[in-house]
Structure 1
Amino acid sequence: MRVISLVSACLLSLATAQAAAAAPAPAAPTTRLDHILLWGRGIDQVTSVMAVKLGFQVRPGRDPDGVANRYIRFSDTSFIELLGITRPNPTFDPGMKEDQQALKGGPGSRTFGFRSSSLDAIHQSLQALHYAVTPFFSGPDSAKPGWRLFAFDRAPLSSNTFFIDYAADYAPDQFDPGNAEDYRVTREHPNGARELSSIWLVSGDAEADRKQLEKMGFGHAVPVKLAALGAKGFCVPVGPTALLALQPDGTGLAEQTMASGGPRILGVSFAVSDLARAQRWAERGYERKLATYRGLSGESVLAPTQDDLGLSIEFHAMQQGGSPCAAVNL
């Protein structure tokens, strides 16, 4: 999965006037948010925060060039890829180098992926709109590639993004296809997290992100105001998941994040099987009481992870069906 980090720094080109007149790219109905790349101050630091303070199960990755990765996988097939530097003078690919420069060596995330089973159609549609999409990349090896993706030459959004899909028989984490029980257990977490429900982008212009998303085929944006974060913007449905395009709205976490580091992923939201358990775990980890609130996905709690992770982690109760962008304000 390291090639994801290599190409995820590629960004989508600005549309020409001719492209602006073209129809939006048809985002496939099978498209959803897939994962984020989350840098820690070190791989053990970010692992400790996610496992001990928050109650996620962290799976092994690799460390070939001084940048280690580990994984947190969920039962809905989404995941988080953790990254951390393990030795002086590591070998960065261009995406890693750009992330590290933007994050100033600190924790945080500025890259995420869309997953779709219709990569070829989306690739062709974006080309027709004169976006300079990259060729396809595949991995983990040429003998039996398990995934393929494409990225962009300049960013369509305020944070970097790419499109990815996986082969039906792709088996990460050294999973033995004959042992379904092992596969299931690796996707269970002490905090009860089951699904990645939303990714929150923050920038100085949420409307610009909304327009780009609409052009790429992700319309039906719902205006939102997140008072708890001092942010406003739009919730954009992406299959069963939601992408929030936000900007600061007065004082608060969004303004602080922009002032300290600029556009990036402000937060990630997870559906949990037992909200009270996730709340207790975060309260023990951070040694403070946390209040619940009515969020975009119903009853929610926000873990105070900004200093540790450079982004916020929200847990919310599981929801049955419905739009991922209900017009509810925090």
Structure 2
Amino acid sequence: MRSILFVSAWLLCLGAAQGATSAPTLAPAPASTTRLDHILLWGRGIDQVTSVMAVKLGFQVRPGRDPGGVANRYIRFSDSSFIELLGITRPDPTFDPGMKEDQQALKGGPGARAFGFRSSSLDAIHGSLQALHYAVTPFFSGPDSAKPGWRLFAFDHAPLSSSTFFIDYAADYAPDQFDPANTGDYRATREHPNGARELSSIWLVSADADADRRQLEKMGFGHAVPVKLPAVGAKGFCVPVGPTALLALQPDGAGLAEQTMTSGGPRILGVSFGVADIGRAQRWAERGYERKLATYRGPFGESILAPTQDDLGLSIEFHAMQRSSSPCSAASL
């Protein structure tokens, strides 16, 4: 069974070049059934990125495949979101164009440039985006034609500063389970030693956060809230996406956001995870990195920032889980 990556990455190469779209002609389809689904995170190698996520940060990592010299593994959460870890395992890997584009942009280093929206209304969203003159691809499905487990579409020209796609899954699709009927195993794979329960936000960084905000609003994701992240030297907008949030950011003085833009350009700057016990996540990251980490008041409440930029090419934020009417309700400046 092939990973979602090996089709989605190929599709995402089509969106490597940013392009503005024409003015909207009708309202986009409702986005209430949509949420952030996953990111594609490259490591310096599959064992390196696995070690960082498991040993230093306390995530449980599940096996994947290695069909062409690019291996993948999964970190899955109880809210159905996940991270797909990627690493090169041989000197002459078989890259699809999307992988090659990622590796060129990341200069062979760690980091993430692509993420997915998950929606049960793919057909309506696809049609609405076409009506708004977005250059969307046809639908693709996998892992095989006999019993497709997922279906997705991407963009010929990326509307956002990082590549993205829309995806949905069959109800019985469980790529990291040998026996999908075993609910005990299914539940256990989504329990993490650090207490992480949910992927709550993805942070995009570019030179113009408002450009991303405008595109998201046009795509149906409005109600943006201004936000600042002093911990990484960034400001921009928190945009609700169902129960999750997309942060469209730009540098705000010296800090990690400016360093990232200077060294590598637009990409995924960070990811936030809601945890059951912020103290446990803090202690795990402190042991992993052998340093004290201060808590701070972030966009999603009490938070810590693990020092993962050198290891992962992005920041990992843990925050105490909280329930509110909007994922951006506590993020306002």
TM-score (norm 1): 0.97
Q: 1:233 aligns with which of 231, 236, 244?
A: 236
Q: Deviations over 1:224-278 (max 9, x none)?
A: 1111211110000000000000000111110001001000000000000111000
Q: Distance in 2 between matches of 1:138 and 1:267?
A: 28
What is the deviation of 1:5?
1.9
Q: Distance in 2 between matches of 1:249 and 1:321?
A: 28
In the alignment, does 2:205 pair up with 1:205? no
> Quick one: percent identity of the two aligned structures?
83
Secondary structure, counterpart of 2:171 in structure 1: coil
In the alignment, does 2:17 pair up with 1:14? no
Q: Distance in 2 between matches of 1:248 and 1:47?
A: 29
Which residue of the partner structure matches residue 94 of structure 2? 91
Residues 108-257 of structure 1 aligned to structure 2 (within 5 Å)? 108-257=111-260
Check conservation: 2:21, 2:159, Cα contact below 8 A.
no
Q: Distance in 2 between matches of 1:133 and 1:259?
A: 30
Question: Unpaired segments of 5 or more residues in structure 1?
Answer: none
Q: 2:8 aligns with which of 4, 16, 38?
A: 4
Check conservation: 2:240, 2:246, Cα contact below 8 A.
yes
Secondary structure, counterpart of 2:14 in structure 1: coil
TM-score (norm 2): 0.96
The count of corresponding residues between Structure 1 and Structure 2 is 327
The one-letter amino acid paired with 1:264 is: R
Check conservation: 1:115, 1:164, Cα contact below 8 A.
yes
Question: Unpaired segments of 5 or more residues in structure 2?
Answer: none
What is the deviation of 1:175?
4.2
Check conservation: 2:25, 2:132, Cα contact below 8 A.
yes
The one-letter amino acid paired with 1:268 is: V
Which residue of the partner structure matches residue 72 of structure 1? 75
Q: Deviations over 1:41-94 (max 9, x none)?
A: 000000000000000000000001110000000000000000000001211111
The one-letter amino acid paired with 1:32 is: R
Which residue of the partner structure matches residue 47 of structure 2? 44
CA RMSD of aligned residues (A): 1.2
Secondary structure, counterpart of 2:305 in structure 1: strand
Q: Distance in 2 between matches of 1:50 and 1:241?
A: 22
Secondary structure, counterpart of 1:28 in structure 2: coil
The one-letter amino acid paired with 1:49 is: V
Check conservation: 1:51, 1:58, Cα contact below 8 A.
yes
